[in-house]
Structure formats: structure tokens, C-alpha cells
Amino acid sequence: MKTLLIVVVGLGCAFGGFYVSKNVDIAFQDSLVKQGIPLDLGKTISMIGMFLFLFPALNFFYFKPLGGAIHARTTELEHTFAEAESLRTEMGQMRTDYEKRLAQTEADARAQIQAQINEAQQLRQTLMSEAASKADELVKRANQEIEAEKTRVMGELRLGVVNLTLQATEKLLGENVDSAKNRRLVEEFIDKIEVQA
């Protein structure tokens, strides 16, 4: 109804302005033309009427589709921006999750490395204590062997000294002095000398 009214008013203004422009002589228009302002009031009203007459067509064929296209584009852009914001939020969350997982992985790796270091240190301590124990055992055994060898050599040396002493005495005296009593006397003499040394 509103559109029909605009079309009727527009047609009325268009024909009325055309009629005024051709048939009516307006006094102040001549004075405006003399001043250098060529204003034709009838043509102006006719142009306004034509615009009012064409406005519904322009509105239907141009303004409404243009407004719809602008609205659709705006909606699409809003949707795109919303998706971009959603993706940005999701990416931020993924980055946070990744950083947490990376930090956890680094912490786990550090803990495993520390556990390996502790285990290696314990193994080192165990090996060191075993090596020290074996070394002490070897030293003890070597000392025992040395002591046994020393005792054996001292016994052989003592026997050799006793035999040598008895042989020297026999040569000096020219008779056999190798009796058990003489042997015992020489051994006691050697024991006294060892105790004093």
C-alpha cells in the first residue's frame, strides 16, 4: 500500500512538474536566470516525481538485493571471524597442551636420567667396595703367603746355619759333633740371637 502511494505521488509530481515547466511562467525564475542561476521549478518537481515513481523499482531491483547481499556477506564474515576465533582458541589450547606435554616429557626424561645416574653411582659404589674387598683379600692372602714363605725360608736358613755351624765345628775340632744335643745347643743360641735382634 505504501509503495502504491509513493508511485501515485511520483507520477503526479512528474506530470505536474512537466505541466508547470511548459505552461506556467513563474516570476522569480526569470530573476534567478538573470543572476546566473538557471532554475526551472517545474523540471525540478518533475525530477523529484520521477525519482519517487522509480524508487519502488530501484528498491525492488537494486536496494533490496544489495541489502540482502550485504547482509549475507556480513553474516558470512561474522561466521568466518567466529570460526577463526574458535580456531585461534583451539590452537591456543593445543599449544598449551603441547607445552604441558613437552614439560612433562622433559621432567620424565630428567627423572629417568637422574635415576640412571643414581643407579650408575650405586653400581660404581658396589663395584668399588667389591674391588676394595677383593684387593684387601688379595693383600691379606699375599701377606699370609709372604709370612709362610718367610717362615719356610727362615726355617731353611736356620737349618742351614745349624748344619753349617756343626760342619765348621767338626772341621775345627776334627771329630763328629752332629749329635742331637749339639744341634739343640746351636738352635738355642740362634733363638737367643733372634730375640735380641
Rounded mean pLDDT of 60-80? 89
Q: Per-residue pLDDT for 147 more than 80?
A: yes
The pLDDT of residue 177 is: 61
The pLDDT of residue 195 is: 57
Q: Are 21 and 43 in contact (CB under 8 A)?
A: yes
Could you read off the pLDDT of 158-189 as tens digits, one per residue?
778 777 777 777 766 666 666 776 677 777 77
pTM tops 0.75, yes or no = no
The pLDDT of residue 22 is: 75
Could you read off the pLDDT of 128-146 as tens digits, one per residue?
999 989 999 999 999 999 9
Q: Per-residue pLDDT for 27 more than 70?
A: no
Q: Per-residue pLDDT for 62 more than 80?
A: yes
The pLDDT of residue 172 is: 67
Most confident range, picked from 33-47, 59-73, 97-111: 97-111
Compute how many other C-beta atoms are within 10 angstroms of the C-beta atom of residue 41. 15
Q: Are 5 and 54 in contact (CB under 8 A)?
A: no
Which region among 20-29, 111-120, 132-141 has the lowest average model confidence (pLDDT)?
20-29
The pLDDT of residue 127 is: 92
Please spell the DSSP secondary structure of the chain, one letter per residue. -HHHHHHHHHHHHHHHHHHHHHH---HHHHHHHHTT----HHHHHHHHHHHHHHHHHHIIIIIHHHHHHHHHHHHHHHHHHHHHHHHHHHHHHHHHHHHHHHHHHHHHHHHHHHHHHHHHHHHHHHHHHHHHHHHHHHHHHHHHHHHHHHHHHHHHHHHHHHHHHHHHHHHHHTS----HHHHHHHHHHHHHHHHH-
The pLDDT of residue 28 is: 65
Q: Per-residue pLDDT for 50 more than 60?
A: yes
